[in-house]
Chain A
Amino acid sequence: MKVCIIGCGAIGSLFAAHLGKLDDVEVWAYDPYQAHVDAINENGLRLTGESDFVAKINARSDADKIPPCEFGIIASKTLHTRAAMEAVAHIFEDGAVCSVQNGVGSEEVIAEFVPRVIMGTTFPAGHISGPGVCNHDTKGLTNIGPFVGKPASQEESDRLAEALTRGGMETNSVADPRGPMWTKVIFNCASNGVAALTRLPHGIAAEQVRPLMSAVAQEGVAVAQALGVTLEKDPEEMIDYGREVAYLHKPSMLQDVEAKRTTEIDSINGGVATIGERVGVPCPLNRAITDMVKGLEFSWTLEA
């Protein structure tokens, strides 16, 4: 089985390396970061932290040098989904591509380029600590399943999940992947959007601006209901749990704001608001947060 990882940043590296442990899987990786690509080809892809091994991966910064693959796993930032899919579409003329990206809306874009799509939601975290090296910060479950709009078969989803689990990335193949996806994105709307604007770590935000976090989450719950999606967990419980275990954790969008990096707001609060508007459930607070995070990104273009 040939699998190509699209976007070999932290999450992409975790998926690539674990699949790379398997004898029956040939792993390719597409990433524009040349130093990372060169290091992976010379020394293998090294994981540290929660995992500690080196995997043999074929990394390329030129997508034309990658052979046709049965599966793709796209792990790029959602900002780059379209550009990445344009570059790799030829690899999957008869393949299925699975998104493990943040937020909502990527699958629709992927479906424009490939015949079959798998929707995924993943919880592990990591960070690139140098070219060819990724630290595995936390382990976690991944859920994948056929994307309703342009589905891969359940059998394909099962096969990819089986390989990932065997490689050490615990993955469930489910019939309706929207439940895990919406459960995560609703939590992220409350956690990431509010943290980015208040600059407060998750636990402190959960104490100081809780009514706002709850109101933002409730808009997402209403959209999920309108879509007929059953959530796996109550977002309020997730916010409380986050406060217990990650009190001073800065959600990724706050980290992006502090580093003045373009955020994934369009796929998180903006994605929920757009889908909500489409199905007749307005999300004024998620839209407001999206507009303000965009405003914040704009402020970085002004001279001091």
Chain B
Amino acid sequence: MREINRVCVVGAGAIGSLLVGHIGALPDITMTVLVRRESHARDLNEQGLKVTGKSDLAASVLASTDPADLGDVDLVIIATKTNAVEASVTKFKGCFPNATVMMIQNGLGCERLVRENGDWPIISGLTFMSGVRKSDCHVDYELDTPTWIGPWDAESDRPGYAYIKQVEALINRSGLICEAHEDLRPVQWSKLIFNSAVNAIGAVTDTPHVPCYADTKNISDLGNLVHDMMAEGVAIARARGIELSSDPWEMNCKAVSQGGSHGSEEYAHITSMLDDVRHKSYTEVDWITGSIVRAAHEAGVPAPYHETLYRLVKGIEKGWSIVPGEH
């Protein structure tokens, strides 16, 4: 089996920087980084990348805005937000002919964008780790929670599970936490259903993920909707033949129990879609709630809550560009 010597991380936001700083610090790995900004590439080439917090590392890297500068690589990890995947893949189309491409976006379905632009074997993934970018060359590693990887269900025979185990070993050796799954869908869908409800409801109600998401005592408590929407997601997963690894509702109750009534320092309660909406930045709703709506349609089962939340978030986004005086 092909050894992994050269790695390219595409996108150096918080998650990308964590991968670059950890894997790039391994002595036997040549780390390359594909970024959008010239100044970002220049700073990374001159100063390398520093990791503080849960790890204390420094990696020297080869960064560029042009994939042709980076040479061939064995493993590409796309670490951009979902909305930037298409532009990133289009940029390295035709490059890295011997690489396997690994994805760790929120939601579901970005793999197709990769396939439309090349024949690389694809590894699906999702990550729970988090960090804060302090500068272009410095990331603080906050939550040392795992990254899960596995075969892309549409083409589960490539690159083969043995290779996926090899990627798992590489990431674990770097100090990050990775778990390979022969079937990723049970964990992927558990997280997806959780994220879809918590993120979309948070974006629409302007409410961080705090204990009211688990309140069901009174008829108008928000937890009732969270519960029913998650139950709908579970039914859709079941209709697709997916048995979940965890119950999203239990994940929800456990997560909010970690904070006080207004959230807590230990728990990152401002969900990403809420943060996006507050900054009038386009959300990942198409890949999260939208992907469940598409899956329901393909399976021929109803998805009224997911359709409602999907449309409400899209409606909020529309308002930023077309309501007079709002932009």
Contacts and interface: CB of A to CB of B under 8 A. Distances in A.
Interface of A: 194, 197-201, 204-205, 208-209, 211-212, 215, 248, 266, 270, 274, 284-285, 287-292, 294-296, 298-299, 302-303
Nearest to A289: B308
A23 B219 CA distance: 49
Contact of A298 (B212, B229, B324): B212
B323 A285 contact: no
Given A198-B312, A287-B225, A292-B312, 16 more contacts: A204-B323, A205-B315, A209-B315, A215-B308, A284-B305, A288-B305, A291-B221, A291-B222, A292-B204, A294-B220, A295-B204, A295-B212, A296-B205, A296-B207, A298-B212, A299-B205
A200 B315 contact: yes
A295 B318 contact: no
A145 B289 CA distance: 46
Given A292-B201, A295-B207, A208 B314 contact: yes
B315 A299 contact: no
A82 to B, nearest CB: 17
Contacts of A302: 207-208, 210, 262
Contacts of A290: 220
Given A211-B311, A284-B305, A288-B225, A295 B319 contact: no
A131 B184 CA distance: 65
Contact of B318 (A194, A208, A266): A208
Given A292-B201, A298-B212, A209 B311 contact: yes
Nearest to B208: A302
Nearest to A290: B220
Contacts of A197: 204-205, 312, 315-316
Contact of A291 (B210, B224, B323): B224
Contact of B323 (A200, A209, A296, A298): A200
A200 B318 contact: yes
Contacts of B1: none
A199 B319 contact: yes
Mostly, the B contact residues are helix
A298 B215 CA distance: 13
A135 B164 CA distance: 70
A299 B207 contact: yes
B221 A285 contact: no
Contacts of B314: 208-209
B322 interface: yes
Contacts of B53: none
Contacts of B206: 296, 299
**Most B C-beta atoms less than 10 A away, residue of A198, A248, A285, A303:** A198
